[in-house]
Homo-oligomer: A and B are copies of this chain.
Amino acid sequence: MRCAILTIGTEILFGQIVNTNTVYLTRELNHMGFDVLYHHTVGDNAARLKELIHETYKDCNVIVCTGGLGPTEDDLTKETIAEAFGDKLEMHQESLVNLEAFAKRRGWKEITPNNYKQAMMPTKARVFQNDVGTAPAFALMGEMDGAGDLISVKDNSEVFDKEDLKIIVTMPGPPREMKWMWNTHIKPFLLGFSDKSLSYRVIRTFGIGESKLETVLLTLIDGQTDPTIATYAKEGESSLRIASQRATKEEADAAVEDMLEKVREYIGKYIYSIDDEDLHQVVGRTLIEKGISISSCESCTGGMFSSKLVEIPGISQVYDRGIVTYSNRAKIEELGVSEDIINEYGAESPEVAAEMVKGLARVTGSRLCISSTGVAGPGNSQGPKGEIPVGDMFIGVYFDGEVHVKEMHTGRDDRVVNRNSCMLTMFDEIRKVIDQKV
Residues of A within 8 A of B (CB): 7, 12-16, 18-19, 22-23, 26-27, 30, 36-43, 45, 48, 51, 55, 58-59, 230-232, 296, 298, 301-307, 309-311, 313, 315-316, 319-327, 329-330, 333-334, 363-364, 377-378, 415-416, 419
Contacts and interface: CB of A to CB of B under 8 A. Distances in A.
A37 to B, nearest CB: 7
The dominant DSSP class at the A interface is mixed
Contacts of A231: 16
Contact of A15 (B26, B55, B303): B26
Contact of A326 (B22, B302, B321, B416): B321
A322 B324 contact: yes
Contacts of A311: 302, 415-416, 419
A320 B310 contact: no
A37 B42 contact: yes
B321 A310 contact: no
Contacts of A55: 51, 55
A303 B311 CA distance: 10
B319 A327 contact: yes
Given A310-B303, A415-B313, A30 B15 contact: yes
Contacts of A307: 301-304, 306-307
Given A310-B324, A316-B326, A37 B13 contact: yes
Contact of A26 (B13, B22, B324): B13
A48 B39 contact: no
B30 A37 contact: no
A298 to B, nearest CB: 8
A16 B419 CA distance: 23
Contacts of A334: 321, 323, 334
A293 to B, nearest CB: 9
Contacts of A363: 333
Given A39-B39, A304-B307, A320 B313 contact: no
A383 to B, nearest CB: 15
A320 B330 contact: yes
A324 B321 contact: yes
7 smallest beta-carbon distances between A and B, as pairs: A302-B310, A303-B303, A303-B306, A322-B324, A321-B330, A39-B41, A15-B27
